[in-house]
Amino acid sequence: MTNLLVHALVEMQEADALEQARQMLDGGTDPIRILEACSAAMETVGARFERGEYFLPHLMMAGEMLKQISDTIKPLMREEKGGAGRGRVLIGTVKGDIHDIGKNIVIFLLEANGFEVRDIGIDQPPENFVEAIRDFQPRVVGMSGLLTLAFDSMRKTIKAVDDAGLRDRVRIMIGGGQVTEKVREYSGADAWGPDAVAGLRLAKQWTERG
């Protein structure tokens, strides 16, 4: 059934995607598995966009489908304690990239697990990250980018954080459909995650260690 959900999302079959998600929840499927399927589907959507097979309306429709599924799942995942007990996470999509689907999945998981999250949005230049770190004082910073052109932006943003004297205050994770360990090394980030669940795991590790 997971494959059916991925197919429906990738092919922009909104009614089918929502029905598949509902059936999976009714059947007792772990909500995390549903989110992982959504993440996999959005990577394919992003790849088609980059190849010129999909366009902005497709991204917007995919984002709306994801929002509807997330709104259904979120009440089932929120910890009883709620609130923002785990710490603060700043997250945004770097300059030159307008994708926010993967970022939004990470935010959803973080908030459902008790983190206080500030989302600075898409296409954010390095100085905006620096300013937000100074103002919000997060323990963890997440930088998202789906397109390959985002890699240089990640590197420049992390350098700007370093130049501002803030690098030792935060742990930085990066993510996106084409991010790899080599991209992490190139950018100077502390870690990278292949999916949203990995981003949540990193945030938990870093905040628990203090």
Per-residue tens of pLDDT for the chain, all 210 residues: 789 999 999 999 999 999 999 999 999 998 888 888 887 888 788 788 878 999 888 888 988 898 899 888 877 765 534 444 689 999 999 999 887 877 888 888 888 788 999 999 999 999 999 999 999 999 999 999 878 889 999 999 999 999 999 999 999 999 987 899 999 999 999 999 988 888 999 999 999 865
| Fold entry, domain 2-77 | 1.10.1240
- DSSP secondary structure string for all residues of 106-172: HHHHHHHTTEEEEE--SSB-HHHHHHHHHHH--SEEEEE--STTHHHHHHHHHHHHHHTT-GGG-EE
Question: 52 — phi, psi (to 5°)?
Answer: 80, 10
Q: What spatial distance separates the first Cα and last Cα of the chain, rounded to whole Å?
A: 40
Spatial contact of 146 and 100, defined as CB atoms under 8 Å apart = no
* Domain spans in the chain, listed from the N-terminal domain onward: 2-77, 87-209
The architecture CATH gives domain 87-209: 3-Layer(aba) Sandwich (3.40)
209 token code pair: 């260690």
134 token code pair: 């100074």
- Amino acid symbol at 112: A
Pick from 149, 31, 164: which is nearest to 95 by CA? 149
129 token code pair: 């990250």
| Residue 188: how many other CB atoms lie within 10 Å | 17
H or E stretch at 90: strand 87-93
Q: What is the pTM of this model?
A: 0.74
Query: Which residues, in sequence order, are bridge partners of residue 21?
Result: none
> Exposed/middle/buried for 3, CB within 10 Å: 0-12, 13-18, 19+?
exposed
